Amino acid sequence: MTGWPTVARKEVRGQLGSRTGKLGIGLVALVFVVGGYIVPTTSSDPTMTDYDGFLRGILLFLVPLFGLLLGYRAVVAERVAGQLTLSLSFPYSRADIVLGKAVGRGLVLLGTITVGVLAGAVLVDYPFGTVALDTLASYLGATALFGLAYLAIGIGLSTVTSSLRRATVLTFGVFFLSVVAWPQLDGIFLQALEFLNLASDELPNWAVFVHGADPSILYQRVLDTYVSPNKIQSGAYLGSTGPWYLQGGPAVGLLFGWIILPMVGGYLQFRRTDL
């Protein structure tokens, strides 16, 4: 498995060289910059907490969409076009293909988020704001993990499908379920558990953990712990009064899990697939 750096460089050049890729990258970076421009107009002493509060609702939709769209065509598009078989005729293994595409597109996503966040932070800090470096690092790291999780899901879907149409349907299905629907289902879960006499008035801690294992909820938990602690809710869901597994640290670990598991699962299926 030595050919993946070549594949990664090809992916970076492809994304930066295509009109669609540049448009998506520019749009995402611009959102961070515009947020940094607007926040100082709403506060006399803006901080990263204000920046997070202004952008969070937008990023909860934009970052997953960017990650999924960046990843869902990674393998299946070349497979449908017959280019994948040609690539495998060179000294590249299937692991090289998957890892190279993940690294290349991951670098594009990380570069986009990093440039956008740093530019936004500069605008928040100058001339009257306050940006603590540890808070900035936490915000940047959490947002990067959030985006990489959905990129990994997109690439995972791309490796297990043989049809571009099916990959597209699955991608937008995942987006709707994970980003739009799942965070709103806590009330339904509570009603179901109350019907089964497993809860009363509020979700038990284990149920909060299960419901909160979605990447978008994990992202909010990390931000509420390390960037905007004044917004933390007391009780079982968030905050120091809750159990350890509902804190920001375990949420970071679960985000890493969302990055690793879809990639590994997709590769294992891809390795067994007859192209």
- Cβ 121 vs Cβ 135: under 8 Å: no
State pTM to two decimals. 0.93
Containing structural domain, residue 153: 4-272
* pLDDT confidence of residue 230: 65
What digits encode the pLDDT tens for the residues 4-43? 898 999 999 999 999 999 999 999 999 999 999 999 999 8
pLDDT (0 to 100) of residue 187? 86
**Of the candidates 238, 214, 206, which has an alpha carbon nearest to the alpha carbon of residue 225?**
238
pLDDT at 235: 40
Q: Name the nearest CA neighbour of 167 among 44, 23, 263, 71.
A: 71
Q: Tens of pLDDT along 170-227?
A: 999 999 999 999 988 888 988 999 888 888 888 888 898 999 999 999 999 999 999 9
Counts of helices then strands in the chain (DSSP H, E): 12, 0
Handedness of CA 116, 159, 161, 12 (dihedral sign): positive
Structural domains counted in the chain = 1
Rounded Cα distance, 151 and 156, in Å:
8
Give the Cα separation of 168 and 161 in Å (integer): 10
* Per-residue pLDDT at 231: 59
- Region 245-263 average pLDDT: 94
What is the C-alpha separation between 2 and 256, in angstroms, rounded?
24
pLDDT tens digit sequence for 117-172: 999 999 999 888 899 999 999 999 999 999 999 999 999 999 999 899 999 999 99
pLDDT at 138: 96
